Amino acid sequence: MGKDRLTAFSDGFFAIIITIMVLELRVPQGADWSALRAVAPSLVTYVLSFVYLAIYWNNHHHLLHTLTRVDGLILWANTHLLFLLSLVPAATAWLGNNFLASPPTALYGGTLLLPAIAYYLLQKAIIHRQGAHSILARALGRDIKGKISPLLYIAGIAIAFVSPWMSIAIYALVAVMWLIPDPRIERTLSDH
Amino acid sequence: MGKDRLTAFSDGFFAIIITIMVLELRVPQGADWSALRAVAPSLVTYVLSFVYLAIYWNNHHHLLHTLTRVDGLILWANTHLLFLLSLVPAATAWLGNNFLASPPTALYGGTLLLPAIAYYLLQKAIIHRQGAHSILARALGRDIKGKISPLLYIAGIAIAFVSPWMSIAIYALVAVMWLIPDPRIERTLSDH
Amino acid sequence: MGKDRLTAFSDGFFAIIITIMVLELRVPQGADWSALRAVAPSLVTYVLSFVYLAIYWNNHHHLLHTLTRVDGLILWANTHLLFLLSLVPAATAWLGNNFLASPPTALYGGTLLLPAIAYYLLQKAIIHRQGAHSILARALGRDIKGKISPLLYIAGIAIAFVSPWMSIAIYALVAVMWLIPDPRIERTLSDH
Amino acid sequence: MGKDRLTAFSDGFFAIIITIMVLELRVPQGADWSALRAVAPSLVTYVLSFVYLAIYWNNHHHLLHTLTRVDGLILWANTHLLFLLSLVPAATAWLGNNFLASPPTALYGGTLLLPAIAYYLLQKAIIHRQGAHSILARALGRDIKGKISPLLYIAGIAIAFVSPWMSIAIYALVAVMWLIPDPRIERTLSDH
């Protein structure tokens, strides 16, 4: 019951954050193709952020599957994650308006880094409540992707001051790395 | 379970995209009727896009009905469709601000064409998972409407550089063609 | 099943339209009270539209309760209603920006009149499908409020060209008239 | 059934209001860090309002748990609460644009005070319908937090004309006070 409402709220939140970014997608000023070209960077950042949020939604979906019970700790760990994800549209808009400038590129990396940490904490909170032998604990195993991603974000943030293109490439690389839904949880779940 | 959440997320997404377009609907500048007349093209494109998205929602509704199981492939085929549909409000706003200019009219056709292809791929993904003898495969049959529509969109895009009015008429024609909910799936479903 | 999805979609739609109006609510320009006073008309129209949409949501809630089966006719009658309601935020913004000017006041009345007609048609569609002896048909009885409201809206639209204040008063009067949830349906339902 | 729909609508409403504030979050003008610093107050007010709305959502969640039946009175008491909460984003935007100016700081306190009263009335409506011996009535007990908060808001509003920083501190203090989910209802519920 509580879990259903948490899921519904999170789903609504994801759907809204993703689509809020459409609103930030700049409408071309003027009726010709050059006006369209001027908003191309805004479209590139939109695509990247859309893929990121879709990945979070997808993995969050698998994560909540493993929940057996919702309490205050998990509720707030989840709200913390959603809060940090809600900063992504504004960072996307800033980067889209100032494509490849160092500060927006670095900040964008920061808004990818923070939810990654929050997601890690949410996993920890669920494992803390459900025990080291729970489905989730076994499914995650050593969680290599979860540990490498923050390092890559930090690298991307640092590199933004040298070569913003490289940062964007790193952020895109992490997205590709996560694009496959987490087979560990799916496999462990289907073993039951 | 997974299907319910996919459905709920898609519904939320449709509801939001449709209503985001209301936000793009221009509010008249000034208090007289001529100010209202100036936003009339914005209203026309809003109506057209609303009808399109309502048709997608409606047929998507029938499509998900035939799902028996959700996996990564279907999840991503669905996300791909929703992503492309999320571009419709921005294209609607561009066309509404520059009514009957060739580039926005052509681009608008493009944002109708891409989801049509994504929808086709989603159908393929479902049939791929559920077999050529599944309800959906039999319900679709030769899927003539699904094959004609992309051709009409491509025609509309090409004609936009000659006669944008004609393009809009073609886009409206395809909408009318789809307005009736897909009787094939309904019939095949009710046979069971 | 189909009914659940229709209900969920409609709920999402109502929630979004209502809150879209918050976005149209003008943020004061400047930090003093006179800046706040300048947006007061925007708040007044927001309150009126919020009450209207809350009434529609509430009565729509009772209406869908009486549904036994969803088909294409009812789906499109419902979509038609939601489309017309989606025009309310733009009309609210126009009136809020140009309070008591005749054209926005008249148009606002028009965006109240059209959904009232669409609601009537949705009722008719449901009764058509479920028979003159259905719960809804008996619950509505002579439906006096439903028949008087359009007349009052038309009066309000006409009077907007003479005394816009009077029009607003009439629109508010209709809202008050509907504020009580429809006891006819509730009573007839609880008889079962 | 009625309760489910009320819950779903309220959840959708909360999710939307919270994320509408992201839209009001100002995107920096310019590509350097000073542009980012200029929007910092906007971020501070966003965080405060996000925490407030998350607390309301959380406690509202517990409150609706205790509902056994929805009627007109509870429906309107709930709509009244949601309406007042819908004013928070606009007040947040005004304060974010004019940080520490007295009128926006005082008004912000007002938009915290009004939902607090509406929440109190919703509690009263539920207890009125379910009796003084209901779960909710016993769970609330003397409801000290609920009675102190409005007094603190009023203090914050008054102090805004002397020291706006102090007002913000008071508003933040009340948020901290409520951050823990209501253990009274949880405890009383788990006794059953």
Beta-carbon contacts of D32 under 8 Å, excluding residues fewer than 6 positions away, are A101, A103
C69 at interface of B, judged by CB pairs closer than 8 A: no
Per-residue tokens: D38? 């200029």
What is the mean pLDDT of the segment spanning D165-177?
A: 94
At residue D71, the pLDDT reads 80
B15, B33, B47: residue with CB nearest C103: B33
The highest-confidence range among A139-148, B128-137, B166-175, by mean pLDDT, is B166-175
Q: With an 8 Å Cβ cutoff, are C104 and B23 in contact?
A: no
Instruction: Give the CB-side neighbour count of residue C30, counting CA atoms within 13 A.
Output: 8
Q: With an 8 Å Cβ cutoff, are A107 and D36 in contact?
A: yes
At residue B15, the pLDDT reads 81
Beta-carbon contacts of C144 under 8 Å, excluding residues fewer than 6 positions away, are none
Q: With an 8 Å Cβ cutoff, are A28 and B75 in contact?
A: no
Separation between Cα atoms, residue A187 and residue D170, nearest integer Å: 50
Vertex A148: Cα angle to A147 and A153 (nearest 5):
110
D31-80 per-position pLDDT tens digit: 899 999 999 999 999 999 999 998 898 888 778 877 878 887 888 899 99
Separation between Cα atoms, residue B44 and residue B92, nearest integer Å: 10
Contacts of C83 in chain B (CB under 8 A): 47, 50, 54
CA distance B158 to chain C (A): 30
What is the mean pLDDT of the segment spanning B16-38?
A: 87
The highest-confidence range among B27-36, C105-114, D144-153, by mean pLDDT, is C105-114
Quick one: which of B85, B186, B178 has its CA closest to B140?
Answer: B186
Phi and psi torsions of B135, nearest 5°: -55, -45
> Taking all residues of chain B, what is their mean pLDDT, rounded to a whole number?
87
Best of C3, C10, C13, C19 to disrupt the B interface (most B CBs within 10 Å) is C13
Best of B1, B3, B5 to disrupt the A interface (most A CBs within 10 Å) is B5
Subunits with 3+ Cβ pairs within 8 Å of C are B, D
CA distance D104 to chain C (A): 6
Separation between Cα atoms, residue C43 and residue D13, nearest integer Å: 19
D24, D83, D103: residue with CB nearest C32: D103
**pLDDT value at A62 more than 90:** no
- Out of A12-21, A36-45, D25-34, least confident range: A12-21
Quick one: three-class SS letters along B31-98?
Answer: CCHHHHHHCHHHHHHHHHHHHHHHHHHHHHHHHHHCCCCCCHHHHHHHHHHHHHHCCHHHHHHHHHHC
pLDDT band at B23 (very low <50, low <70, confident <90, very high): confident
Contacts of C87 in chain B (CB under 8 A): 22, 25
**pLDDT value at B75 more than 90:** no
**pLDDT value at B184 more than 90:** no
pLDDT band at D14 (very low <50, low <70, confident <90, very high): confident
At residue B93, the pLDDT reads 93
At residue D3, the pLDDT reads 80
Contacts of C18 in chain B (CB under 8 A): none
Contacts of C76 in chain B (CB under 8 A): 179
Per-residue tokens: C117? 């007609």
Separation between Cα atoms, residue C166 and residue C60, nearest integer Å: 28
**pLDDT value at C132 more than 90:** no
Higher pLDDT, B186 or B88: B88
CA distance B7 to chain A (A): 11
**pLDDT value at D115 more than 90:** yes
A23-60 per-position pLDDT tens digit: 888 889 998 999 999 999 999 999 999 999 988 988 88
Q: With an 8 Å Cβ cutoff, are D9 and C14 in contact?
A: yes
Contacts of C161 in chain B (CB under 8 A): none
Q: Which residues numbered 20-39 in B keep a CB inside 8 Å of some CB on A? A: 20, 23-24
pLDDT band at C45 (very low <50, low <70, confident <90, very high): very high
Find how far residue C96's CA is from the centre of its chain. Answer: 17
Higher pLDDT, D180 or A140: A140
CA distance D108 to chain A (A): 21
C112 at interface of B, judged by CB pairs closer than 8 A: no
- ipTM of predicted complex: 0.81
pLDDT band at A109 (very low <50, low <70, confident <90, very high): very high
Phi and psi torsions of C32, nearest 5°: -105, 175
Q: With an 8 Å Cβ cutoff, are A86 and D28 in contact?
A: no
**pLDDT value at B39 more than 60:** yes
C190 at interface of D, judged by CB pairs closer than 8 A: no
Q: With an 8 Å Cβ cutoff, are D16 and A16 in contact?
A: yes
pLDDT band at D7 (very low <50, low <70, confident <90, very high): confident
A75, A86, A103: residue with CB nearest D58: A75
D190 at interface of A, judged by CB pairs closer than 8 A: no
Chain A with chain B: Cβ pairs closer than 8 A? 68
A99 at interface of D, judged by CB pairs closer than 8 A: no
D16, D17, D104: residue with CB nearest C31: D104
Quick one: which of A20, A12, A86 has its CA closest to D47?
Answer: A86
- The residue of chain D with its CA nearest to that of C49 is D83
Share of chain D above pLDDT 70, in %: 91
Higher pLDDT, B157 or B4: B157
A7 at interface of D, judged by CB pairs closer than 8 A: no
C161 at interface of B, judged by CB pairs closer than 8 A: no
pTM above threshold 0.95: no
Yes or no: say if B96 and B45 are a contact pair by the CB < 8 Å rule. Answer: yes
Subunits with 3+ Cβ pairs within 8 Å of D are A, C
- Out of A150-154, B80-84, C183-187, least confident range: C183-187
Share of chain C above pLDDT 90, in %: 51
**pLDDT value at C183 more than 80:** no
What is the mean pLDDT of the segment spanning D6-19?
A: 82
Quick one: which of A178, A168, A128 has its CA closest to A148?
Answer: A178
What is the torsional sign of CA D92, D97, D99, D104? negative
At residue D17, the pLDDT reads 87
- Out of B41-50, B51-60, C132-141, least confident range: C132-141
Contacts of A79 in chain D (CB under 8 A): 54, 58
Give the gyration radius of chain D's Cα atoms: 18
B52 at interface of C, judged by CB pairs closer than 8 A: no
A8, A20, A94: residue with CB nearest D23: A20
**pLDDT value at D181 more than 60:** no
What is the mean pLDDT of the segment spanning C23-33?
A: 87
pLDDT band at A191 (very low <50, low <70, confident <90, very high): low
The highest-confidence range among B36-45, B182-191, D135-144, D183-192, by mean pLDDT, is B36-45
What is the mean pLDDT of the segment spanning C22-36?
A: 88
- The residue of chain C with its CA nearest to that of D92 is C27
At residue B113, the pLDDT reads 97
CA distance B81 to chain C (A): 18
What letter would DSSP give residue D189? H
Q: With an 8 Å Cβ cutoff, are D75 and C181 in contact?
A: yes
C35, C50, C57: residue with CB nearest D83: C50
B27, B33, B179: residue with CB nearest C97: B27
3 state DSSP class of D185: helix
> Taking all residues of chain C, what is their mean pLDDT, rounded to a whole number?
87
User: What is the total residue count of chain D?
Assistant: 192
What letter would DSSP give residue B191? H
**pLDDT value at B110 more than 90:** yes
Separation between Cα atoms, residue A168 and residue A49, nearest integer Å: 11
**pLDDT value at D135 more than 80:** no
Q: With an 8 Å Cβ cutoff, are C17 and B18 in contact?
A: no
CA distance C57 to chain B (A): 15
Contacts of C13 in chain B (CB under 8 A): 15, 18-19
Per-residue tokens: B62? 């029938």
Instruction: Give the CB-side neighbour count of residue C160, counting CA atoms within 13 A.
Output: 24
Share of chain B above pLDDT 70, in %: 91
**DSSP annotation string for B115-183:** HHHHHHHHHHHHHHHH-TTSHHHHHHTT-HHHHHHHHHHHHHHHHTTT-HHHHHHHHHHHHHHH-S--H
Contacts of B93 in chain A (CB under 8 A): 27
A66-102 per-position pLDDT tens digit: 787 888 788 889 999 999 999 999 999 999 999 999 9
pLDDT band at A14 (very low <50, low <70, confident <90, very high): confident
Per-residue tokens: C57? 């949501």
- Out of A178-182, B57-61, D82-86, least confident range: A178-182
**pLDDT value at C187 more than 90:** no
Beta-carbon neighbour count of residue D184 at 10 Å?
16
At residue A156, the pLDDT reads 97
pLDDT band at D187 (very low <50, low <70, confident <90, very high): low
CA distance B2 to chain C (A): 15
**pLDDT value at C181 more than 60:** no
Beta-carbon contacts of C147 under 8 Å, excluding residues fewer than 6 positions away, are none
Q: With an 8 Å Cβ cutoff, are C15 and D20 in contact?
A: no
Separation between Cα atoms, residue C149 and residue B150, nearest integer Å: 45
- The residue of chain A with its CA nearest to that of D26 is A90
Q: Which residues numbered 114-143 in D keep a CB inside 8 Å of some CB on C? A: none
Find how far residue B50's CA is from the centre of its chain. Answer: 9
At residue D168, the pLDDT reads 96
